[in-house]
């Protein structure tokens, strides 16, 4: 009886809110020939948290990205737009859309299919302003990333055949506990008030915002020689990722290890070595040992910061991304 009364109350609120307003049909329909379709901000009016996360992600800037625009203007075709401004990937294709391309990989790219918005969780909403398909397992699988990240997907599949590995989202999308929608005014707050919170994932999928620490990359200091005025450090890097290091289809990229020489946290100097690149990547399970000679300022140094970073040479790309860091004291034991 209580739930029945809730439904009546919310229905009344819904009618009061939507009376005289335009239809919600525009949220799940588009006209390619007229270059018209849903905008991400339309979804953001009810899915506020998800929209804010997405807005600051690599997906949101996939089309406007300087590196992509330079390559596209130099001769990129529709096959490029199919991943940088896709229409619907739910059916396994990457057809480019004709509208709102500046939104990159937008809400509809991943969630709209055959006139419905799809998602991984059972809906607890009493009312839906647009057609939905909930409990869609596609969004909990690696298949959602496969359409555009084919090379990494192939690497993943080879590894997954021989052992259990985490999905893409397990590492690249931080866990969140929340409702599927959020209100922005009295009426919408009432409409979503009875939704259940679910364990879900962030839409802020960007490598530089990734919450690492799954033991996916291991950095060990095998030896530290402190002979003054110079020294050297021996490092072992193990790739436990379910793909190559580095991975990705386009662009020149490499993994570098940087040893910073510190005094009271001030950087006095640094030494850099290449760990791997796209031509010679570290594959899953590979271990790379590197010995780095340190600068002659070692006598003034009290600690070393060892940083593992991803670099790319593409124009306008993200600065070096920190993957892992470890600090060791020069007064500590020479062998770790």
- Domains, in order of start, for the chain: 2-209 (no CATH), 217-329 (2.60.40.10)
pLDDT at res. 25: 82
Three-state DSSP class for 297?
Answer: coil
With CA atoms as reference, report the closest residue to 273 among 307, 247, 296.
307
pLDDT at res. 91: 82
pLDDT at res. 19: 44
The kind and range of the H/E element at 70 are helix 66-73
pLDDT band for position 249 (cuts 50, 70, 90) = confident
Rounded-to-integer distance, Cα 321 and Cα 208, Å: 6
Asked if 271 and 258 count as a contact pair (C-beta separation under 8 A), the reply is yes
Rounded-to-integer distance, Cα 244 and Cα 282, Å: 6
pLDDT band for position 295 (cuts 50, 70, 90) = confident
Residue 75 has pLDDT above 80, yes or no: no
pLDDT at res. 161: 95
For range 268-282, the mean pLDDT: 93
CA distances from 186 to 17, 92, 103, 280 (A): 9, 39, 29, 57
Give the tens place of pLDDT for each residue, 128-182. Answer: 889 999 999 999 999 999 989 999 999 999 999 999 998 998 888 989 999 999 8
Rounded-to-integer distance, Cα 42 and Cα 22, Å: 13
With CA atoms as reference, report the closest residue to 35 among 85, 109, 95, 98.
98
Question: For 307, phi and psi rounded to 5 degrees?
Answer: -120, 130
pLDDT band for position 299 (cuts 50, 70, 90) = confident
Residue 7 has pLDDT above 70, yes or no: no
Q: Pick the residue with more confidence: 193 or 236? A: 236
Rounded-to-integer distance, Cα 242 and Cα 199, Å: 23
Asked if 302 and 263 count as a contact pair (C-beta separation under 8 A), the reply is yes
With CA atoms as reference, report the closest residue to 92 among 51, 142, 48, 161.
142
pLDDT at res. 212: 52
pLDDT at res. 213: 46
Rounded-to-integer distance, Cα 62 and Cα 81, Å: 9
CA distances from 152 to 132, 145, 239, 253 (A): 30, 9, 14, 14
Rounded-to-integer distance, Cα 129 and Cα 126, Å: 10
Three-state DSSP class for 50?
Answer: helix
Q: Calculate Rg over the CA atoms of the chain.
A: 25
Give the tens place of pLDDT for each residue, 26-60. Answer: 889 998 887 899 999 999 988 999 999 999 999 99
pTM: 0.85
pLDDT band for position 215 (cuts 50, 70, 90) = low
């Amino acid at each position: 009886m209580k739930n029945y009364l809730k439904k009546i109350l919310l229905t009344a609120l819904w009618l009061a809110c939507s009376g005289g307003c335009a239809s919600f049909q525009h949220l799940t329909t588009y006209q390619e020939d007229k270059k018209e379709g849903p905008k991400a901000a339309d979804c953001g009016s009810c899915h506020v948290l998800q929209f804010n996360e997405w807005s600051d992600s690599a997906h949101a800037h996939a089309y406007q990205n300087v590196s992509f625009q330079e390559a596209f203007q130099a001769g990129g075709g529709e096959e490029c737009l199919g991943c940088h401004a896709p229409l619907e990937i739910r059916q396994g294709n990457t057809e480019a859309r004709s509208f709102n391309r500046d939104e990159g990989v937008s809400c509809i790219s991943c969630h709209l299919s055959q006139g419905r918005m799809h998602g991984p969780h059972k809906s607890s909403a009493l009312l839906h302003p647009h057609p939905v398909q909930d409990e869609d397992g596609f969004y909990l699988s690696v298949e959602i990333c496969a359409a555009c990240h084919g090379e990494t997907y192939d690497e993943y599949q080879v590894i997954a055949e021989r052992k259990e590995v985490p999905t893409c989202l397990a590492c690249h999308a931080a866990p969140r506990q929340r409702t599927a929608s959020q209100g922005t005014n009295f009426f919408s707050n009432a409409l979503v008030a009875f939704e259940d919170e679910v364990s879900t994932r962030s839409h802020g999928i960007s490598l530089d915002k990734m919450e690492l620490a799954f033991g996916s990359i291991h950095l060990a200091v095998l030896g530290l020689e402190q002979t003054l005025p110079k020294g050297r450090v021996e490092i072992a890097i193990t790739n436990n990722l379910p793909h190559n290091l580095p991975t990705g289809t386009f662009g020149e990229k490499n993994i570098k290890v940087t040893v910073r020489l510190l005094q009271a946290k001030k950087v006095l100097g640094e030494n850099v070595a290449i760990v791997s690149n796209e031509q010679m990547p570290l594959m899953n399970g590979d271990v790379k040992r590197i010995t780095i000679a340190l600068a002659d300022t070692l006598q003034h140094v009290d600690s070393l910061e060892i940083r593992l970073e991803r670099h790319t040479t593409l124009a306008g790309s993200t600065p070096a991304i920190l993957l892992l860091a470890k600090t060791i004291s020069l007064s500590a034991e020479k062998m770790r």
